[in-house]
């Protein structure tokens, strides 16, 4: 393979199977380590909150360039409503996230079967309300908690991954800290979902009562994500046109000359690559195409210096004085050899 072919392969856009695999992996890690921390510490607020936040941070940095690092159906829906992801990609992302969540919960459940006397019935890190929750929170209060916290979570994601953000490399850090912050406040209330896949995975191993409560954590989180995708461009504007096949197609149109492509195709992966993006031909404000070769630095021109002189300077040869003509009365007599 030639160097040109290798470079083209390295810069090619991620394929659908690669995005699918990235979402499966990221959601698997989120559920396994986040729910695992909750089980291991008895749902300690600080430990569990940091576990969920750090897993999102690490996986977003790891595979965010491939799929955008959603790991959450509510994020995917919010991105589609907000104009950053085509609706045709939503099923691919959601299926991958559900597979990753169920697989993570299944592996975690298998590990805990090795603990004598352990039972996952109603005790497997699932989200809950009413009698199954710590405070006995009413269903409508739990719905409000999950909808509002998911709305805040998605607004933060959309803000830090906006193309106009001056520090895109810090986006995963901000997203992870936001998720940890949400867990600190709501673990005692609902166990903190803000993610339908995170709720579904453990609930499948926690018994019938946990499965019966899933409707709230699916509807509330999807509603919060959709509202965030709707509100962000309306309140804060958009950089350009939405991705083709996304959004609800209303709001202010971009000013003339704006670069098309509000947000990043497939949601957020452009934030990892925008500093190294290749300029596209014909886009206003971009570098000329094809790239112009750099101009070499020209040395200043000076007058030509005279040739170096030898040292010491050479004196012009002296000519002997001409002989005095005969008869010249100068007080001297010319000496002639004898004949």
For 126-156, write each residue's pLDDT tens digit.
999 999 999 999 999 999 999 999 999 999 9
283 found inside a domain:
no
Is residue 256's pLDDT more than 50?
no
Q: Is the pTM value of this prediction over 0.75? A: no
Residue with tokens 């709230």: 216
Contact 230, 203 (CB under 8 A): no
Can you say how many angstroms the Cα of residue 265 is from the centroid of all Cα atoms in its chain?
A: 12
151 found inside a domain:
yes
172 found inside a domain:
yes
Residue 228 domain boundaries: 15-114+127-276
Q: How far apart are CA 53 and CA 176, in angstroms?
A: 4
Express each pLDDT in 189-206 by its tens digit.
999 999 999 999 999 999
Q: How far apart are CA 73 and CA 77, in angstroms?
A: 6
Contact 184, 140 (CB under 8 A): no
Rounded to 10 deg, the angle between the 45-67 and 16-41 helix axes is 170
338 found inside a domain:
no
Where would I find the H helices in 237-286?
Answer: 270-273
Express each pLDDT in 67-89 by its tens digit.
999 999 999 999 999 999 999 99
122 found inside a domain:
no
Where would I find the H helices in 237-309?
Answer: 270-273
> Average pLDDT, whole number, for the chain?
82
Cα dihedral value 109, 25, 193, 47, nearest 10? 70
Phi-psi region of 240 (alpha: psi -120 to 50; beta: other; left: phi over 0): beta
Is residue 171's pLDDT more than 70?
yes
272 found inside a domain:
yes
- Count up the domains in the chain and report the number: 1
Quick one: DSSP state of residue 264? B
Quick one: DSSP state of residue 63? H
Rounded to a whole number of angstroms, the distance between the first and last alpha carbons of the chain is 106
303 found inside a domain:
no
Can you say how many angstroms the Cα of residue 308 is from the centroid of all Cα atoms in its chain?
A: 64
Q: How far apart are CA 97 and CA 86, in angstroms?
A: 17
1 found inside a domain:
no
Q: What is the CATH number of the domain that holds 270?
A: 1.20.1080.10
Mean pLDDT along residues 289-317: 57
């Amino acid at each position: 393979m030639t160097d040109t072919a290798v470079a083209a392969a390295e810069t090619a856009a991620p394929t659908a199977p690669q995005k699918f695999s990235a979402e499966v992996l990221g959601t698997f890690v989120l559920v396994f380590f986040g729910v695992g921390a909750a089980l291991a510490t008895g749902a300690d607020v600080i430990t569990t909150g940091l576990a969920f936040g750090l897993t999102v941070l690490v996986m977003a940095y790891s595979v965010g360039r491939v799929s955008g690092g959603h790991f959450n159906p509510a994020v995917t829906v919010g991105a589609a409503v907000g104009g950053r992801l085509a609706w045709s990609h939503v099923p691919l992302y959601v299926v991958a996230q559900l597979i990753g969540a169920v697989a993570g919960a299944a592996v975690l459940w298998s590990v805990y079967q090795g603990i004598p006397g352990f039972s996952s019935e109603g005790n497997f890190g699932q989200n809950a309300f009413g009698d199954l929750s710590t405070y006995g929170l009413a269903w409508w209060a739990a719905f409000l908690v999950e909808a509002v916290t998911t709305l805040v979570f998605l607004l933060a994601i959309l803000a830090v991954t906006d193309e106009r953000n001056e520090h895109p490399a810090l986006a995963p850090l901000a997203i992870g800290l936001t998720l940890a912050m949400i867990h600190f406040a709501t673990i005692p209330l609902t166990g903190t979902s803000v993610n339908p896949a995170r709720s579904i995975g453990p609930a499948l191993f926690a018994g019938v009562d946990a499965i019966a409560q899933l409707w709230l954590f699916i509807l509330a989180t999807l509603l919060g994500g959709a509202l965030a995708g709707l509100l962000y461009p309306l309140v804060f504007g958009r950089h350009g046109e939405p991705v083709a096949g996304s959004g609800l197609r209303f709001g202010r149109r971009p000013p003339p000359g704006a670069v098309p492509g509000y947000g990043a195709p497939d949601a957020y992966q452009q934030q990892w690559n925008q500093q190294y993006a290749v300029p596209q031909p014909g886009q206003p404000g971009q570098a000329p195409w094809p790239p112009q070769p750099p101009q070499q630095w020209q040395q200043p021109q000076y007058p030509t210096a005279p040739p170096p002189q030898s040292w010491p300077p050479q004196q012009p040869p002296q000519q002997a004085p001409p002989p005095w003509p005969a008869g010249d009365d100068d007080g001297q007599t010319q000496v002639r050899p004898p004949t």
